Amino acid sequence: MTNASGMTAAARARLIGAGYAAQGLGYAAVVTALPTFKDRQGIDDTFVSAILLLVCVAAAAGSMLADRIAARWGSRYALASGLLLVAAGLAGATVDTPNILFTAILLAYGVGLGAVDASLSMQGVLVQARLGRNVMSRLFAAYTAAAIAAALLMSGVLETGAGAAITVAIAAAYAALIGLIGWRAFEPGRTERVAVVHAEGGPSVRPVVLICGMLIFTAFLVDSAVSTWSSVYLQDSLKAAASVAPLGYAAYQAAVLVSRLVADHVVPRAGRTPIALGALTVCGLGCAVVTTLPSIGAAIAGFAIAGIGVGVLVPLAFSAAGEFAAQSSDEVIARVNLFNYGGALLGAVLLGALSEPVGLQAAFLIPVVAVVATLPLARRLRRLSTPAPV
């Protein structure tokens, strides 16, 4: 299938996958560089938590900005401009600056992060519909593969004594490259606004946003807890070597990658609801291992177990939202994506706030509680009916 530009849907899907890879490479570079940033800037966990809170707020604003850009010009421009802003933020973070400027740089990165988060899923749903088969999990797998590469690269450069800024700079350059290429080459399709669809007699999207949004909330709570604090927990609490600390995140992302490579084949056969319930349970189990077995090996294993569940749950939720609200998928996905940042606030900021009074080991109970609370809601996925194709 080709469009006016002569680019096939499959080729465009690969380019969107490269966008997922750029996002994964950049995010993993930042979170695995946190211990180095802490030392370089002379900041503690509480200050890191405050910055992460501001970055989450900035990312939520970026997600809403992506919705506005997508409505006016199309999600391809939201994605391309977001990637360029991410590149600028990453490049700025490599420089030793006063803490006020360092915070401002990360805020700019956060706006780009949110814009890319939302528009990547918009683009993924559009190209999946154009292809007529499930590809969302494999697109997210590109994110994961790049995140693993970043974590391993970070481990390698730290082992050699080189600065963490090298990995962050590589991620910045790659994001800029894909943003420039994608400005004209990303998927040009657009969908109607929710208000227009509803005025024409379309179904309410509120149940879709609530159910899929809460699945995203819990998945990203687990993801941000592991992504943000796994390296810090291993290095500061369990006294792992600096070169070993990023391996917890690498194991987590390796498990995420495996689950995403098979999910597009398994979910259509087993059904979304059973898979969603199973993925949530596995997420909780992995975090429970981390909090009950305080050893380096057990912690790395626990992070990997949690990754199996997260790997399936995130693309499943976005794919479901895009399918159930196909006529207005751009706007609905932007709304669902906002739940990401609520989960990130609890997963990153609350765990950091609890690290001093109770320790990170006990703080990893927060994701377990969230999983238990979300299980009843996940059962409501089966009540959502798929609308007729537009």
**How confident is the model at residue 236, as a pLDDT?**
84
Q: How many residues does the chain have?
A: 390
Contact between residue 187 and residue 127 where contact means Cβ atoms under 8 Å apart = yes
Banded model confidence at residue 207, pLDDT cuts 50, 70, 90 = confident
**Quick one: pLDDT at residue 137?**
92
More confident residue, 162 or 102: 102
Place of tokens 């087993």: 270
Q: Which amino acid is at 122?
A: M
State CA 57 to chain mean position distance: 15
Place of tokens 């657009």: 190
Q: Is the pLDDT of residue 174 over 80?
A: yes
Query: CB count, 10 Å around CB of 176?
Result: 19
pLDDT in tens, 278-330: 999 999 999 999 999 988 999 999 999 999 999 999 999 999 898 888 888 88
Q: 131-145, 237-251, 331-345: which range is least confident on average?
A: 237-251
With CA atoms as reference, report the closest residue to 308 among 251, 371, 255.
Answer: 255
Q: Which two tokens stand for residue 377?
A: 């809601």
The pLDDT value recorded for residue 312 is 94
| Local structure of 2: helix, strand or coil | strand
User: Residue 339: pLDDT above 90?
Assistant: yes
Q: What is the pTM of this model?
A: 0.84
Long-range contacts from 262-266, C-beta under 8 angstroms, 24+ separation: 262/137, 263/137, 263/311, 263/312, 263/315, 263/316, 264/133, 264/134, 264/135, 264/136, 264/137, 264/138
267 vs 103, 133, 320, CA distance in Å? 41, 12, 11
Say whether pLDDT at 244 is over 70: yes
The pLDDT score that the predictor gives to residue 171 is 95
Pick from 38-47, 79-88, 167-176, 261-270: least confident: 38-47
* Mean pLDDT along residues 359-363: 88
Q: What is the percent of the chain with per-residue pLDDT over 70, rounded to a whole number?
A: 95
Task: Quote the mean pLDDT of the chain.
Answer: 88
Quick one: pLDDT band at residue 197, thresholds 50, 70, 90?
low
Mean pLDDT of 79-101: 94
Helix (H) or strand (E) holding 96: none
Confidence band, pLDDT 50/70/90 cuts, at residue 202: low
How many angstroms separate the CA atoms of 350 and 357, rounded? 12
pLDDT above 90: residue 134: no
In the prediction, which pLDDT does 387 show? Answer: 45
> CB count, 10 Å around CB of 8?
14
Would the pLDDT of 356 be above 90?
no
| pLDDT of the residue at 44 | 82
State the angle between helix axes of 296-324 and 329-344 in degrees (0 to 180), rounded to the nearest 10. 160
Question: Which of helix, strand or coil describes residue 8?
Answer: strand
Grade residue 386 by pLDDT with cuts at 50, 70 and 90.
very low
Residue 201 confidence (pLDDT) = 55
Q: Would you state the pLDDT for residue 390?
A: 35
pLDDT in tens, 68-88: 999 889 999 999 999 999 999
Contact between 313 and 116 under an 8 Å Cβ cutoff? The reply is no
